[in-house]
Amino acid sequence: MISASTHRTRQLSVLMGTAAALCLAMPAMAQAPAAPSQPDASKVTVLDDIIVTATKRPEAAREISGSVSAFDENKLETLGAATLGDYLTRTPGVVFNQTIPGNSAAILRGVATTTGIAQAQGTTGYFIDDVPLTDPFYSAGIPDIDTFDVDNVAILRGPQGTLFGSSSLGGAINYQAAKPNLGELSAHLRGTLEDTRHGDGSYGGQAMINLPLAKDVFAIRAVFTRRQDSGYIENVGTHTSHANRTDVTGGRLLATYAPTDATTVNYLFLDQIEETRDAGSSEPGVGDFAKLTVIPEPFKYRTTIHNLRLDQDLGFAMLTATATHHAKSFTSQQDYSGLAPAFAPVAFLEPGTSKGDTFEARLASPAGRRFDYLIGVFHDSTDESVTDQLVAPSAAAALGSATLIDANVGIRGRESAAFGEATYRFSDAFKATVGGRLFRTELTTVTRQSGPLTGGASVTSGGSKETGFSPKASLTWQPDDDVLVYGLVSKGFRFGGPNIATDPTFAIPRQFDSDSLINYELGARTNWLDRRLQLDGTLFLVDWDNIQVSQRSPGGFIYTGNAGKARNAGFEGSATFRATPALTFQGGVTYLDATLRRDFESGSGLVPSGARLPGASRWQVSDSVIYNWSDVTARPSLVFSHRYISSAPGELTPAPSRQGGYNLFDLRLSATLGKVGITGFVENIGDTRGVSEAATSVRGPVEFLVRPRTVGVTLDYRL
């Protein structure tokens, strides 16, 4: 039997040996490879900006009249950010409820009524290269795409219904993959080893190669990622240590064809699998970093995307047309033995699929003219199939079937829209933008139920249709390149739908209605000290009506209802200061007051007006100090960062569990040796036991904890 320490030593030896072999072998692939192009920190003082597509056209993030945060590849690598939790927790106005990879939800501006995934459309939109990754009904997974070889990730706070459609009620997260380079061969290799307290060794490997097959005309870019994250929860019921180990395997292929200067065709293929062998929810009554189930609770998510995009310069406007086929699948098993102890073990099984096609075409005028416009049409057709099964093998003799409940819901969602924005510049300093999205949504469902606990076999159908309009308007004053002030009003919406679950002891509503909100904000972006200091701030107020609320029935089944009104108000601020060419300070702060405005009668009792929304922490703070010794051999750099999130309820119930209320500190030290980079890091230095999500299961309160102190090393090679 090999001990854990011996296993980690062998992992380290393998990584070091592999890295050394790569460093020796890669230069032979091409003659005189160029060194990585990095700015000389001893001479750079001006802070840069990041080009994003938050407005469906390339634009500097800090020139947008809206609340946008952006991370490019360099910023992400500096912070060591690879997953959603690594960078969203550093973004003002965003709470990331880290639970099971593929099942972890982000909340923007407190716009959520659950910290997990509900049986309804989510409130945050997720996109890759502007392609939606959300579903019209029950989420089939939120792929956590590795930031390796990313161009940028943009976080758009506030409803994005005008340009991005439904589900972006609180905002949107848009991941832009790096496009193929038509002119140069390049490659990037990365390997990481980690050791987590209370856990075991982890490893990760990523590779990218860019091949111009016809110079300046056709190129492909292939990316592969593989990561195994050690578990740190012990399941004392199944006698499994490090039970919540997760394996993530994925990759993407991008191809670019540019036959003329006016025509570009891009193809994107993405496939990713996230598999957790046992959900990492600890139980306070069992012990720190421990749970007790009689069966494991595995989760698996898969996402596949095929996207074809045409960009055609027509002279008077840019035509962009996209066609996407998207497919997701998921399986999960949860221990529901507490629901029927006499028949233990009892498993709640939930397999499902989501498949569909998305089409969009838009025209965008050249930017910077007195009158700019963008108009487009959109259509998405998605079919989902979700099955809920309650299985107890020992119940077969008494009840005649081991499957106590078997409910399958077939969902067909359709969304069609015409959208547009127009900007008029009254002068060099003043401009006004108006836009809107005229949409039609349709949802049809067929539910088939059987089993001894359902009262007999049945087939029911339902559906909803809605036509609406989501407007947006802003006024911007920009007297010079160092000051931008804007006021914005925007609206967001999402689908209504059916409830899948059936509880023999409680009347779960068959349907829930759509909800919408209106967002008001006033923001400013400023540069100071010859653009060495950036100070940004936004005030916002969100009025949310007919809100969808995720609830748990007395029998432990999740369903969705509508709960009147909520109001979210607050402030988001960020600052970046390059004190010297080598020393940079970064920081962000959020204040949020997000509460119900009417009493709500939940499945577990009355939730009064004034109750704080789930996950809506009142305060968030993130800050970092970065120092680069650019004039020293190997150009070492040091990054010390900190994150704080205040306490918040985990559920919208009369007596919710609490989450948040913790600080995290991280340290990274990097150096570059020729074409090889090496980074040592310590994450969660203080080994803080922070609760990233608190909920209630059929076993009682459960908590998902932030990863304990993790020490690791990363090696990089670039060709």
Residue 43, pLDDT score:
52
CA distance 166 to 168: 6
- Among all chains, which residue has been given the structure tokens 């990089």? 716
Total count of domains within the chain: 1
Instruction: Classify residue 25: in a domain, yes or no.
Output: no
In a domain, 204, yes or no: yes
Residue spans of beta strands (DSSP E) within 133-278: 150-157, 171-177, 186-196, 201-214, 218-229, 234-235, 246-260, 263-276
pLDDT tens per residue, range 285-337: 898 899 999 999 999 999 999 999 999 999 999 999 999 999 999 999 999 99
Mean pLDDT of the chain, nearest integer? 89
Given a cut of 60, whether residue 40 has pLDDT beyond it is no
Task: Specify the range with the lowest mean pLDDT, choosing from 322-326, 344-348, 601-605.
Answer: 601-605
CA atoms within 13 A on the CB side of 75: 22
Cis peptide before 212 (omega within 30 of 0): no
Question: Structural domain of residue 370, as residue ranges?
Answer: 38-718
Higher pLDDT, 393 or 553: 393
**421: pLDDT confidence band, cut at 50, 70 and 90?**
very high
Q: Does residue 678 form part of some domain?
A: yes
The reported pLDDT for the residue numbered 718 is 93
Residue 681, pLDDT above cutoff 50: yes
Sorted by sequence, the CB contacts under 8 Å of residue 3 that are 6+ apart come out as none
Domain presence at residue 17:
no
Burial 386-398 (b: 16+ CB within 10 A, else e): bbbbbbbeebeee
Q: pLDDT tens digits, residue range 555-569?
A: 667 778 787 899 999
- What confidence tier does 45 reach under pLDDT thresholds 50, 70, 90? low
Amino acid at 381: S
SS3 (DSSP) at 392: coil
pLDDT band at 181 (very low <50, low <70, confident <90, very high): very high
Q: What is the pTM of this model?
A: 0.89
**259: in domain:** yes
Residue 406 has pLDDT above 70, yes or no: yes
Residue 263 lies in a domain: yes
pLDDT tens digits for 219-275?
999 999 999 999 999 999 999 999 999 999 999 999 999 999 999 999 999 999 999
Percent of the chain at pLDDT above 90? Answer: 70
pLDDT at 10 over 70: no
pLDDT at position 557 is 72
Region 488-503: what's the mean pLDDT? 81
Q: What's the count of helices (H) and strands (E) in the chain, helices before strands?
A: 5, 45
Can you give the CATH number for the domain in which 112 is found?
2.40.170.20
Query: Is 331 part of any domain?
Result: yes
- Alpha-carbon distance of 691 to 650, in angstroms, equals 10
The confidence score (pLDDT) of residue 87 equals 93
Residue 464 confidence class, pLDDT cut points 50, 70, 90: confident
Give me the count of residues in the chain.
719
Tokens of 513: 């209605």
For residue 668, being part of any structural domain is answered with yes
| Nearest C-alpha neighbor of 60 from the set 475, 490, 527, 434 | 527
Distance in angstroms (rounded) separating the CA atoms of residues 277 and 262: 49
Mean pLDDT, range 207-223, rounded to an integer: 97
Cα 285 to the center of its chain, rounded Å: 31
Residue 601 has pLDDT above 90, yes or no: no
